[in-house]
Structures are given as structure tokens and as C-alpha cells.
Amino acid sequence: MTNGLITLGSGGIFNGTRTDANGTISPPVTYNLQLANIVVGSRYQIYNVTASSELTNALSVSGGIDVTYTKGTDYTAGDVGRYRITYQSGVNAKETLEGAFTFPTDSAINSLPTSQLPNGSYETFAIDGAGISEFSWDSGNVEVDINDSDNNTSIQRFGAWYTYFITTAVGIDEAFGAVEWETLNSIQIYSAIVDVKLDNTKASPLVLTGGRIYRNDGLTVIAAASNSIQIDYNPVYTVETGVSGLTPAESTKLTDIASDTDELQSNQANFATADISGLETKAEADASEFALVAQHAVTQAEIADLSNVSTVTTLTPGQTTAQTIVITVTPTIIGE
């Protein structure tokens, strides 16, 4: 402490609190955030959620993230911070990362564990999302505009484009978390995170093939002002082989369905090639029935003219007494 001015020569810096003619000066309180094991070229965003302020939006150049922020300038003690990390390059991509932290009262260093796992759907599709041009982001309407040259694209191309888009400065800020590429043939849009819809900007109808694309709230994925979009949904199911999304019971059901389908197809094939030349047609059966009915009517008329019981008296040689034989007529009714 001095009544004069404290000066340092030879590039020296103050460490700690000092008081001179200018008053009492304390070193700034800082927060150092470290995220290790990040693939070089990953896009990352550090955001002050409480203050709705983006602090950093950049690419990792050293295989990790190491950033420092100043209390009073970048944050207030107790503010909630958030980090997001994305990566895509060519036909390779990583699952997104997101986490939260709290800015402290005093200076601190916070090193958070991170691990970027492969994006299975993207790498299976194996097409560079950066080269897909029929999709574009409409920030004002929170929509994905589609303008396809042959009016036919796929949900896989949409998923690949989205994976690339969120590695851009705009994408990681405005569209992060909106889309989950669940499986190669299924994409879900999370409306509560980003209420995004699809807009076909061409007058010609668009066909979107490859599987299912849907919103978690059950509403349509198509924007109200969009031109026609036909979603050609051809689902693909797989059975349990080790570890997958199906339980053993569900896999058994799918196997039974496949077996029943094979049997049905076999029966259909047998019927198509069967020899039915000897079978009576419906017209022939009807004619036979009419003939039987007519014959029945004739027989009934004949019966009505008969005496149901007749007697005949006979006398055989040697007999002295006549014997009466009773003959009972029992008609046979044709057709009954």
C-alpha cells in the first residue's frame, strides 16, 4: 500500500490486490473451462444460459477445449453455462455432446470429462453431408427448405445434411438437438427443442423416401405453407441378433411373421398353378340343383296318386285258406 503510484518495469504484472493513488485494485475473478479429448475440427459453443449470451462459437484446433471467462464481463456468479460439441468430416461423424455447469463466485478451473462416440447412422449411410445441396436452413421460419432438382430425395440425405449443418456456427446455435437419427430408416424431430418443419419450396410435388420421419408431438413434419411433400414410408424391421432395440419376445414375433408370410406366399403360388379343370363350376352346380328340385316335384305328384297300402289275396297250391299279403309302398324322394 502506498500513497503514490505503483509501477512495474520489464513487463512485470501484478499478482494479488494492490492499493495506491488510483485506489484498491484486485485481480479479476475468472472461470477456466477445460474439455479434453475433443477431435480436432470439432465445432463447439459455450453459452451463458442465464444471460442468453453466446460466449464462444469456434472450431477445436488442439484436440481439446480450454477457454477462460471473466466475472463481471462474461458472467455473474451463479449463472448457468452450457457447452455443445459437434463433429463431421467427410463420411465420418460423432454423436453430439451437450452439458451444463455453474459459474462460481471465486476463480476456478473446471475440467469436464468428455468422449465423442461415432454416429452410427451417418457413417453407415456414408455420404458427406456437406455436399448435399437440396436442403437449406430458414432461420426466420425455423424450417428446413427443400429444393430438389428431380423432386425426389430421402430421409437419409436429410439426416446426413443435418449432421453437417450443426457443425456450422449457425447450425450449432439454432438447430442443435432438433433431430435424432434413431436408426438408418427412422428420424425423429424434437419439437420442444426446436419446432422445425419441412418446406418444399418448389411447385412440383416432392417425394421423400427411405423410411420414417416424424415429430415427437405427433404433428405433421410439413410446414403449413409448404408445397406438396409425399413421404414414402417403407419401414424396415430387424430381429434380435446380440444387442439391438428389440427384445427376444419381439424378435420371436417378427420371425413368426416372416414364417407365416413365406407359407402364405407358397400357398398362393400353389393355387396359381393348380389344375382345376375337373372341378364343377358354380353355373354347373346351380343347373344340377335346379334339375333335382324339378325331379322332386314330379316325384311328389306321383306319390299323391298312389294308395300307400295295397292288399293282394293269393292262394297257393295245397292251401285251403286264402292269405292276404300287405304291400306297403314307400317312395324314394330324390333330392332329399
Q: Residue ranges per domain, the chain? A: 29-118, 121-261
- What does the chain come to in residues? 336
Q: Torsion angle of alpha carbons 37, 40, 42, 43, nearest 10°?
A: 110
| Degrees to nearest 5, angle at CA 155 with 58 and 163 | 10
Query: Chain-wide mean pLDDT for the chain?
Result: 83
Amino acid identity of residue 148, one-letter, is: D
User: What does the DSSP 8-state code read for residue 75?
Assistant: B
Taking residue 284's Cβ as centre, other Cβ atoms within 10 Å add up to 10
CA–CA separation, 315 and 192 (whole Å):
113
pLDDT band of 69, cuts 50, 70, 90:
very high
Interstrand relation of 212-215 and 179-183 (parallel, antiparallel or unpaired):
unpaired
Task: Give the residue-averaged pLDDT of 93-99.
Answer: 97
**Nearest alpha-carbon partner for 155 in 116, 89, 211, 103:** 211
pLDDT band of 299, cuts 50, 70, 90:
low
Q: Which three cell numbers stand for residue 97?
A: 455432446
Handedness of CA 124, 125, 131, 132 (dihedral sign): negative
- Residue 174, pLDDT above cutoff 80: yes
> How far out from the chain centre does Cα 240 lie?
18
**Nearest alpha-carbon partner for 53 in 15, 80, 13, 92:** 80
Q: Give the chain's radius of gyration (CA, Å).
A: 44
> 74 with 55: CB under 8 angstroms?
yes
The stretches of the chain forming alpha helices (DSSP H) are 120-125, 155-165, 169-174, 248-273, 282-305
- Residue 295, pLDDT above cutoff 50: yes
| Degrees to nearest 5, angle at CA 106 with 101 and 21 | 145
Tens digits of per-residue pLDDT, 276-287?
A: 666 666 777 777
CA–CA separation, 120 and 129 (whole Å):
14
- Residue 221, pLDDT above cutoff 70: yes
In CATH, what number does 29-118 get? 2.60.40
Residue 312 is predicted with a pLDDT of: 43
CA–CA separation, 33 and 35 (whole Å):
7
Task: Give the residue-averaged pLDDT of 145-160.
Answer: 98
